[in-house]
């Protein structure tokens, strides 16, 4: 696969090659200068994203033979609490379709943000600040945010043209004697992201077998009893970063999941719970009213409340 990136910067060319290589793609990346059509220091997300799109489209016009043309753009955005570093990638395929990905944002130190607001150049200010203070190196290199943006853009392409299916999963709504619900934070999640425990259905395995196996593997005990099985299979889409993460880890991916939920009664006590540290970062018992503060993925809370209502918890 040949990718032309709209930049002669060797670091950006390497970032693109490595980011796509992590997705197990056999890729050749070449750099060609391309105009962004925006200010050299964009100060809002909309302008920064437009710069990435413009670079990709201008690169496409000059190199129509490439499988993908890639535009990268970094900028700043102020949410009212000081600037955040923002990054965007745009992939344009041979037929001119565009796919945009965004990287993780990084909040700038207040001192840096104030100097930029006063008209100073971000690159100069952040390097001067870095000489005196320990900072996230991504504020200078932008390596991780740009890599994530590129991978998210490719995930958007896969959603449209990758013929991705949905992964079949069984998930457990576990209650204890106090009527609380058990939620888990996976090692792959960010801070504040939680879910019900469960996992993928393996070949020649029933949904009931899956949920009991997964709970034992993830939580270190078999002291669970299936009370009810949902009548419905709920289907949802994954955000781009999850699609990319699965592709990196397993050399295959899906666009989302089809989930059968089970109402599960926990028969043991808390000392029986021994979470698998390879999969589970934390576990927590919460009241159902507290789900709102923990289920923050798109439509996650809405789906959880629907399931709980069906189970009449």
The secondary structure of 273-312 as a DSSP string is ----TTTEEEEEEE-GGGGGGT--STTHHHHHHHHHHHHT
Question: What residue ranges of the chain have pLDDT lower than 70?
Answer: none
Tokens of 184: 């888990």
Q: For residue 99, what pLDDT is reported?
A: 98
Q: First-to-last CA distance in the chain?
A: 52
Q: For residue 298, what pLDDT is reported?
A: 84
Tokens of 121: 């150049």
User: Rounded to an integer, what distance in angstroms lies between the CA atom of residue 193 and that of residue 179?
Assistant: 22
Tens digit of pLDDT for each residue in 53-71?
A: 999 999 999 999 999 999 9
Domains and CATH numbers, the chain: 2-161 (3.90.950.10), 166-311 (3.90.79.10)
Beta-strand runs (E) in 34-193: 68-78, 83-93, 98-102, 106-107, 166-175, 181-186
Q: For residue 312, what pLDDT is reported?
A: 87
Residue 248, SS3 per DSSP: helix
Q: For residue 245, what pLDDT is reported?
A: 92
Q: For residue 189, what pLDDT is reported?
A: 87
Tens digit of pLDDT for each residue in 280-309?
A: 999 999 999 999 999 998 889 999 999 999
Q: For residue 135, what pLDDT is reported?
A: 87
Q: For residue 269, what pLDDT is reported?
A: 95
């Amino acid at each position: 696969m040949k990718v032309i990136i709209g930049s002669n910067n060797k670091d950006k060319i390497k970032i693109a090659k490595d980011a796509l290589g992590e997705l197990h793609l056999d890729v050749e990346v070449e750099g060609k200068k391309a105009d962004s059509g925006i200010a050299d220091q964009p100060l809002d997300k909309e302008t920064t994203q437009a710069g990435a799109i413009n670079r990709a489209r201008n690169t496409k016009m000059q190199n129509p033979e490439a499988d993908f043309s890639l535009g990268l753009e970094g900028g700043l955005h102020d949410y009212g609490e000081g600037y955040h570093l923002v990054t965007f990638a745009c992939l344009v395929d041979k037929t001119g379709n565009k796919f945009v990905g965004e990287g993780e944002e990084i909040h700038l130190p207040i001192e840096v943000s104030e100097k930029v607001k006063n008209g100073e150049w971000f690159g100069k200010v952040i390097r001067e600040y870095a000489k005196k203070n320990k900072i996230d190196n991504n504020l200078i290199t932008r390596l991780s945010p740009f890599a994530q943006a590129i991978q998210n853009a490719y995930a958007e392409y896969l959603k449209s043209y990758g013929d991705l299916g949905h992964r079949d999963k069984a998930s457990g709504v576990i209650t204890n004697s106090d009527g609380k619900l058990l939620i888990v934070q996976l090692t792959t999640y960010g801070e504040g992201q939680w879910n019900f425990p469960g996992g993928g259905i393996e070949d020649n395995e029933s949904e009931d077998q899956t949920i009991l196996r997964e709970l034992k593997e993830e939580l270190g005990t078999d002291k669970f009893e299936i009370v009810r099985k949902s009548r419905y299979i709920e289907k949802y889409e994954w955000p781009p970063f999850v699609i990319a993460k699965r592709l990196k880890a397993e050399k295959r991916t899906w666009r989302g999941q089809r989930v059968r939920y089970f109402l599960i009664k926990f028969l043991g006590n808390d000392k029986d719970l021994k979470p698998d540290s390879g999969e589970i970062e934390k576990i927590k018992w919460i009241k159902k009213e507290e789900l709102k503060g923990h289920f923050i993925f798109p439509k996650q809370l809405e789906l959880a409340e629907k399931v709980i209502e069906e189970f009449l918890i």
